[in-house]
Amino acid sequence: MYEYGTNLLISYVININLSKFFNFVRYCVISRSPKFICQSDWLVHPFILQHKQTKMLFATCSLTTAVKSVRETTWLLHYQNICKQSSNGYKIHACKKTDFKIHAKLNSNMAQYSNFAMGSEGVLPKQAQIVICGAGTVANSVAYHLVQNGWNDILVLEQKKIGSGTSHFGSGTLGLFKPIADRNLIMYSIKLYRRLQELGYDIGFKQIGSVNLAQTKDRLIALKRRMAYHQATGLHCEVVGNKELKNFHPYLRTEDLEGAIWVPEDAVAKPQAICEALAKLAKEGGARYVENCQVLQVLTENARIKGVETNIGTVFCEYFVNSAGMWARDLGLNCSPRVRVPAIPAEHFYVTTPCFEPELDSWLPCVRDYDSHTYIREWKGGFMVGGFELEAKPAFGGAGIPEDWKNKLPQDWNHFMPLWEKAIHRLPILKDVHNPVLTNSPDNFTPDGRWILGETPEVKNYFVSVGMNGNSLQGAGGIGKAVAEWIIEGVPTTELIPFSVQRFLDLHNNRQYLLQRTREVVGRHYSILYPHQCEYKYARKLRCSPLYSVLEKRGAVFGTRMAYERALYFDSTYKDGDPLPQMPPGSFYKPKFFDFMREEYLACREGVGIIDMSSFSKIEIKSSGSEVVDYLQRVCSNDVNIPVGGIVHTGMQNEYGGYENDCMIVRQNDNSFFMVSPTNQQTRTFEWMQRNLPPDHSVGLTDMTSMYTVINVVGPKSRDLMSELSNSDVKLHPFTYKKVNVGYASDVMVMSFTHTGEPGYCLYVPSEYALHVYDRLMTVGQDYGARDVGCLTQRFMRIEKFIAFWAEELTSLTTPFEAGAGHRVKLDKEYFIGKFALQRQKEQGVTQRLVFFVLEDIDPDIHIWPWGGEPLYRNGEFVGTVTSAGYGFTLDKLICVGYIRHPGITKGDSNGHQIVTNEFIMAPGAKYEIDIAGQRFLAKPHIRAPYIPHINMDSTSCRYRPTVVSLKAM
């Protein structure tokens, strides 16, 4: 990131984004690299120096944070060195002036802070840069990492005592065998805890390893799939047979197992001890803790953090971190505007046994018996048995958290008994245990079972780190680091999209919804999550397209995204009146409903496919003058100043060139645009766009998602169908739109693009007309071979066309050049966010490149399919991971896409050969392989999608050619 330094700063200054500038300078200068100042020339960059506020800023920022830093002096020394060495007039001038100010301000600050230094910990300061609410393990970890990065004006507020919430519970296990994004954070946690142990804290950290059991073949596949990417990314794990398993854990019953995975790096530690150790270290670093202080209200100003009001006074602050655990949701509501923190506690049980005679080996590995929904570890000479039961119970009967909550944790043996019996089955030794103790340790569960991290879309500088889903210990270390860096940098430094707090809508925060969803989320932690075939059972039918009921009657099987019900596929054998079609049991092989998907594909390829895409987010962007054009030009990397009636596909980039959004922009008028972006972007993109709005309120954003029903009409006969329905010429140029009448409905926006890559139209129908238009499409469309098509087929089709998609290929850490969408970046236009980074990347080349792979030797009928997340090898070296995969109907092959890097990068050594060129990817000697559940298959790389015969919408203009009958007989 230092490479971007100069450009980035300039962009901040130009944007007058002072707070970013402020943070950045502070961050670079103090925490990371004083050398940066000496080496780089940004100080004397005319841009910086010409700007009046720069010097002031520079001084101020260095002051406020550097005050107590140990590095302060070194930094000042360095600084003075520059002054001495430099012969540059500007520099001397600048430095002298700053120097003076530093001293002046330093003195005054010192005076101010000394007041607190003397005061006891119970006294609430008047202000702090960052206020963290909660003093659980996660909160302490955030504080600790902020301190580590040199930010030490931190105030941690705890309503009772440090670690008095749910942090002292927990199994204390640290399991690395998780999805990759989770694992990266947990891996860091382990590293951190090991260091704590080395520092002499008694946290009981032991890398005892774990065995992950598979009772079924599918489970073994699931585990092997996980193992494949773990192995590739440096986590040691291996498959062990039943006999070896006995060596690892002599008490296990192994006869009924299909196999197991041994993960030696998994560890255990004492949650309470770590919680306290982190708090202690944070305190030592300068963070102040105030206990018995309850945050009543979070104060905001212009949707930005201003301070917090507590039962013992008000504190003004710049940042606020909500790590209040079980209380986080309610705390979120005590803010104006309200902040969504959709997580509520569920009862979570574990059983501890008395010490065995003789005492158990304390190095017994942890056992995860997924199919029994239990985990078992050694605990003080006995066992601890915990469970993630299939049907969980929200804690405290679903009501709020009572004051004396610790006394209201009933031991529900009836509830836990089935799991306990399964545990006895697995460990027969447990049968003889007398007086096992059942502990009810509620913890926060989120609607999708993933952590909730990051800056809230509602309030700027309001960060959230909650939703530990039963084990706060394992995530805490990594989460603390990630959130701390996010605060400091303003953007996430690692892949955190799956955990972003911006993945929610208001509905997710509905208590009723959460209560329903929590029941199954707990158990899902140990369920086999079949790719695209593991939909939620509860809290469904929440957001529905106007066509929902009709599609349901036509055999649709639904899945949710952003709580929006989307038809995954259509069971064409379904007859109205039969019980509704259900998704068959999941599979890692060919999906059981695959034949329906092929029918759907054929409709799109030969007739007309009708896809309901209403869930896509739609935003209208307007201004009275031409401000909207300037605004969009600044946030979009493509040229959006297109003629009225045009449509342009563009990305919205962050300063690093990474994607913040991938969208279609439609110009409705000179000063009115319509934006369409993926379903799960609804909150996130709105927030991003709002944040970048010009401060004078000249441009307005409106979320129009529910106003339109979106129907894709795809396929070669779509034009004929549309012209019959609209009685008008729908021969549109690509990427234009026209308002036409369809059936009796008027003003339907017909856009000439589809989300499948096939020719066709995208209809934006005012929702009240939706049923009518759909009915006409289907009735008249019958003669054009019209068929409902689900989004799974659409997904496969877009993968085959090599269309990169949001949150899979396009993330905040990937750029258009890397994703092969460089043609959509217009570097010759005026400044836009990310321009400098992209310019630089264009000159230097990319370090990763999205590549399309055809899996030639996989038989889709026999082998396990790739589904995404599989590691890719080039000549035996790990070079990337599959982002999405599917079946290419036209190619009749399984296909996947993924980013390819130089093997060196993933190994960690940067030897200058990091640029990925087409020659590197397509080198004749390069042999690519994909690891699917432990088996490697050849993958043929393509920089562009393989040629697929174009299908033509102009059925009448295509010339007839006689086709030859196969001449086999001759």
Partner 1 sequence: MAIGCRAQQLVANKCFGKCTVRSAEYHKRARPICVLNKNVIQQKEQRIYEQYHQNYRTLYTSKNLAGTPRLSPQEVTSFLRANEHTQEFTTTGSVKSYDSNQLSSNNPIEDTRTEAQCLLTNGLLLGVFDGHGGASCAQVIAKRLFHYITVCLLPPDILHKYLNALENNETMELLNVYNDKVELVDELKILYEASFKIFVKELSQIKGNQRDFHMKEAMEKAFLRLDDDISNEALCKNDGKVNMKTLSIAMSGAVACVAHIDGPHLHVASIGDCQCVLGMLSDVSTWTAKKLTTEHNTDNHEEVERILREHPNNERDTIIKMERLLGQLAPLRALGDVKYKWSKSTLSNAVLPYYGETVIPPNYYTPPYLTACPDVTYHRLTPRDKFLVIASDGLWDLVSPLQVVRLVGEHMSGKVTLNPFRLPRKGMHISDINKMLLQRKEGLKMKPTDRNAATHLMRNALGGTEYGIDHVKLSHLLSIPQELVRVFRDDITITVVYFDSEYLRHCPP
Q: Which is nearer to partner 1, 296 or 602 (CB)?
A: 602
Least CB distance to partner 1 at residue 759 (A): 11
Q: Is the dihedral of CA 408, 414, 419, 424 positive or negative?
A: positive
Least CB distance to partner 1 at residue 894 (A): 24
Q: Which span (541-549, 689-697, 779-787, 840-848) binds partner 1, by CB under 8 A?
A: 779-787
Q: Which two tokens mark 378?
A: 């050694």
Using the rule CB under 8 A, is 965 a contact of partner 1? Answer: yes
Q: Which is nearer to partner 1, 344 or 786 (CB)?
A: 786
CB atoms inside a 10 Å sphere around CB 390: 16
Least CB distance to partner 1 at residue 782 (A): 7
Least CB distance to partner 1 at residue 951 (A): 7
Of 136, 86, 489, 53, residue with least CA distance to 324: 136
Residue of 202, 606, 670, 729 that binds partner 1 (CB under 8 A): 606
Q: Which is nearer to partner 1, 862 or 965 (CB)?
A: 965
d(CA 823, CA 836): 16
Q: Which is nearer to partner 1, 412 or 606 (CB)?
A: 606
CB within 8 Å of 40: residues ≥ 6 apart:
2, 5, 6
Residue of 49, 296, 424, 602 that binds partner 1 (CB under 8 A): 602
Residue of 209, 607, 816, 820 that binds partner 1 (CB under 8 A): 607
Q: Which is nearer to partner 1, 399 or 958 (CB)?
A: 958
Please name every residue paired with 786 in a beta bridge, in sequence order, or none if there are none: 608
Q: Which span (2-10, 493-501, 842-850, 956-964) binds partner 1, by CB under 8 A?
A: 956-964
Least CB distance to partner 1 at residue 607 (A): 6
Least CB distance to partner 1 at residue 717 (A): 6
Q: Which is nearer to partner 1, 256 or 783 (CB)?
A: 783
Q: Judged by CB under 8 A, how many residues of this single chain contact partner 1?
A: 28
Residue of 299, 780, 938, 948 that binds partner 1 (CB under 8 A): 780
Burial of 358 (0-12, 13-18, 19+ CB in 10 A): exposed
| Binding to partner 1, residues 144-173 (CB under 8 A) | none
Using the rule CB under 8 A, is 716 a contact of partner 1? Answer: yes
| Binding to partner 1, residues 913-952 (CB under 8 A) | 951-952
Q: Which span (345-353, 584-592, 774-782, 871-879) binds partner 1, by CB under 8 A?
A: 774-782
Angle between helix 89-118 and helix 52-66 axes, rounded to 10 deg: 30
Residue of 52, 84, 431, 961 that binds partner 1 (CB under 8 A): 961
Asked if 930 contacts 894 with a C-beta cutoff of 8 angstroms, the reply is: no
Q: Which span (93-101, 241-249, 521-529, 599-607) binds partner 1, by CB under 8 A?
A: 599-607
Using the rule CB under 8 A, is 605 a contact of partner 1? Answer: yes
Q: Which span (17-25, 50-58, 214-222, 605-613) binds partner 1, by CB under 8 A?
A: 605-613
Residue of 111, 118, 862, 967 that binds partner 1 (CB under 8 A): 967
Q: Which two tokens mark 427?
A: 């460990």
Residue of 783, 830, 859, 909 that binds partner 1 (CB under 8 A): 783
DSSP letters, 434-464, are -SPEEEE--EEE-TTSS-EEEE-SSSBTEEE
Using the rule CB under 8 A, is 744 a contact of partner 1? Answer: no
Using the rule CB under 8 A, is 784 a contact of partner 1? Answer: yes
User: β-pairing, 127-133 with 154-157?
Assistant: parallel
Asked if 180 contacts 229 with a C-beta cutoff of 8 angstroms, the reply is: yes
Residue of 84, 87, 963, 968 that binds partner 1 (CB under 8 A): 963
Q: Which two tokens mark 817?
A: 């050049």
CB within 8 Å of 536: residues ≥ 6 apart:
517, 520, 560
Using the rule CB under 8 A, is 955 a contact of partner 1? Answer: yes
d(CA 93, CA 500): 44
Using the rule CB under 8 A, is 586 a contact of partner 1? Answer: no
Backbone angles phi, psi at 556, to 5 degrees: -70, 140
Q: Which is nearer to partner 1, 118 or 970 (CB)?
A: 970
Q: Which is nearer to partner 1, 432 or 576 (CB)?
A: 576
Least CB distance to partner 1 at residue 950 (A): 12
Q: Which is nearer to partner 1, 697 or 959 (CB)?
A: 959
Using the rule CB under 8 A, is 307 a contact of partner 1? Answer: no
d(CA 867, CA 815): 23
d(CA 271, CA 171): 8
DSSP letters, 592-631, are TTHHHHHHHHHHHHHSEEEEE-TTSEEEEEEESSTHHHHH
Q: Which is nearer to partner 1, 918 or 952 (CB)?
A: 952
Q: Which is nearer to partner 1, 448 or 600 (CB)?
A: 600
Amino acid at 755: H
Least CB distance to partner 1 at residue 752 (A): 18
Q: Which span (401-409, 451-459, 488-496, 781-789) binds partner 1, by CB under 8 A?
A: 781-789
Using the rule CB under 8 A, is 704 a contact of partner 1? Answer: no
Q: Which is nearer to partner 1, 342 or 607 (CB)?
A: 607
> What string of H, E and C letters represents the secondary structure of 503-538?
HCCHHHHCHHHHHHHHHHHHHHCCCCCCCCCCCCCC
DSSP letters, 911-931, are -S---B-HHHHH-TT--EEEE
Residue of 524, 566, 717, 798 that binds partner 1 (CB under 8 A): 717
Q: Which span (173-181, 347-355, 811-819, 955-963) binds partner 1, by CB under 8 A?
A: 955-963
Amino acid at 807: A
**CA separation, residue 642 to residues 48, 199, 648 (Å):** 34, 61, 8
**CA separation, residue 15 to residues 12, 202, 390, 826 (Å):** 5, 49, 51, 19
From residue 256 to residue 275, what is the string marking binding to partner 1 with x (rule CB under 8 A)?
--------------------
Residue of 200, 579, 912, 962 that binds partner 1 (CB under 8 A): 962
Backbone angles phi, psi at 685, to 5 degrees: -70, -35
Q: Which is nearer to partner 1, 76 or 778 (CB)?
A: 778
Q: Which is nearer to partner 1, 350 or 889 (CB)?
A: 889
Q: Which span (117-125, 296-304, 481-489, 959-967) binds partner 1, by CB under 8 A?
A: 959-967
CB atoms inside a 10 Å sphere around CB 111: 9
Map residue 38 onto helix, strand or coil. helix
Q: Is the dihedral of CA 683, 688, 693, 699 positive or negative?
A: negative
Q: Which is nearer to partner 1, 72 or 571 (CB)?
A: 571
Using the rule CB under 8 A, is 579 a contact of partner 1? Answer: no
Least CB distance to partner 1 at residue 415 (A): 43
| Binding to partner 1, residues 68-97 (CB under 8 A) | none
Give the long-range contacts of residues 70-73, CB within 8 A, separation 24 or more.
71/30, 71/34, 71/150, 72/30
Of 552, 617, 563, residue with least CA distance to 790: 552
Of 325, 366, 385, residue with least CA distance to 132: 325
**CA separation, residue 277 to residues 163, 478, 684, 770 (Å):** 11, 16, 35, 59
Least CB distance to partner 1 at residue 917 (A): 39
How wide is the angle at C-alpha 778 spanned by C-alphas 775 and 780, nearest 5°? Answer: 100
Using the rule CB under 8 A, is 785 a contact of partner 1? Answer: yes
How wide is the angle at C-alpha 725 spanned by C-alphas 719 and 727, nearest 5°? Answer: 90
Q: Which span (249-257, 466-474, 688-696, 961-969) binds partner 1, by CB under 8 A?
A: 961-969
The footprint of partner 1 (CB under 8 A) covers 577, 602-603, 605-607, 716-717, 779-780, 782-785, 951-952, 955-956, 958-965, 967, 970
